[in-house]
Amino acid sequence: MASLEIDRERCARDGLCALECPLSLIDIDEAGYPVATAHLEASCIGCGHCVAVCAKGCLRIDGIDPDELPDAPRTPDVLPEALCAWMTGRRSVRNFSDRRVPRGLIETCLETARYAPSALNFQPVEWLVITDAAAIRTLAGLCADFFRAAGSSQRFIEPFDAGRETILRGAPCLVVVHADAAAPIPPATDCVIALTHFELAAHALGLGACWAGLVRRAVASHAPAREFLGLPQGHEMYGGLMVGFPRFALKRLPPRKPLSIVWR
């Protein structure tokens, strides 16, 4: 459906749009101007990179107008070392304060995750955000039912049954990523990337989070947990995060395994 329009008066003939297109759908003509290949109309994925790369703002693809795109965000003025330390300092948080999570903070995390990379710009990721404490507690119980009956993950179920909420840790918010499992590109990787961006954004905003792997396992196999989430027909849960304000902070950086790397 896409078509390419060029303002030839303004075009710098630098060819960046053609270089930038992930699918090589733009050719450069003999005079140096970009032209659509025969495949562009059918194959354009609407990523907008050709429009976004043009310093002159002289290229339009159906529905993507350079004048309507914001400027690329400037990198904040921090040292790379500090940013890597910031990422390293993000640790899984399993103890949350009683403070409610303002919806605006979740929205900022979602808006940040919206720009996470997506295979062929397909953007299959959909979100479920639960902030009802009673609902989260109910879901934890449904997951516990599953593991108790399955006889697995007893190290979580024993303390749960003794009164500690070890499944969703009493988190004030649960964020679930899901997608149509039958999408043309398997959506698991896109979903996990997006949720990782969400987690780092949450860390930037002073929130803490922990991946809800037990919930994902229960939802995959236990109809009551699955029905409780109410995901659309054919959708699967590809990840979940418990989110809240940390109740306390780690004083030290915990150890990790050494890296296993082959260089070639």
Q: By CB under 8 A, what part of segment 29-68 binds its own copies? A: 39, 43, 46-49, 51-55, 57, 64, 66
Q: Which of 3, 152, 189, 221 binds its own copies (CB under 8 A)?
A: 189
Q: Is 82 a residue that touches its own copies (CB under 8 A)?
A: yes
Q: Is 166 a residue that touches its own copies (CB under 8 A)?
A: yes
Q: Which of 11, 13, 23, 41 binds its own copies (CB under 8 A)?
A: 23
Q: What is the 3-state secondary structure (H, E, C) of 117-135?
A: CCHHHCCCCEEEEECCHHH
CB of 135 to its own copies, least distance (A): 6
Q: What would you measure as the largest C-alpha separation in the chain, in angstroms?
A: 76
Sign of the C-alpha dihedral, residues 75, 80, 85, 90? Answer: positive
CB of 205 to its own copies, least distance (A): 5
Q: Is 1 a residue that touches its own copies (CB under 8 A)?
A: no
Going by C-alpha positions, the residue among 30, 32, 69 that lies closest to residue 50 is 69
Q: Is 151 a residue that touches its own copies (CB under 8 A)?
A: no
Interface with its own copies: number of residues (CB under 8 A):
109
Q: Is 204 a residue that touches its own copies (CB under 8 A)?
A: yes
The encoded tokens of residue 116 equal: 């996470």
CB of 128 to its own copies, least distance (A): 5
Q: Is 98 a residue that touches its own copies (CB under 8 A)?
A: no
Dist CA 28 CA 157 (whole Å):
63
Residue placing its CB nearer to its own copies in the complex, 203 or 222? 203
Residues 104-118 as b or e (16 or more Cβ within 10 Å = b): ebbebbbebbeebeb
Within 7-66, strands assigned E span 26-28, 34-36, 59-61
CB of 219 to its own copies, least distance (A): 14
CB of 48 to its own copies, least distance (A): 3
Residue placing its CB nearer to its own copies in the complex, 114 or 137? 114
CB of 49 to its own copies, least distance (A): 6
CB of 114 to its own copies, least distance (A): 5
Q: Which of 5, 12, 62, 89 binds its own copies (CB under 8 A)?
A: 89
- For 34, residues 6+ apart whose C-beta sits below 8 A from its C-beta are 4, 6, 11, 15, 17, 18, 26, 27, 28, 50, 59
Neighbours of 57 (CB within 10 A): 14
Span 233-252, contacts to its own copies by CB under 8 A: 239, 247-252
The CA-based angle 195-199-201, given to 5 degrees, is 115
Q: Which of 181, 200, 224, 226 binds its own copies (CB under 8 A)?
A: 200
Dist CA 31 CA 33 (whole Å):
6
173-180 and 235-244 as β-strands: parallel, antiparallel, unpaired? antiparallel
Span 216-235, contacts to its own copies by CB under 8 A: 230
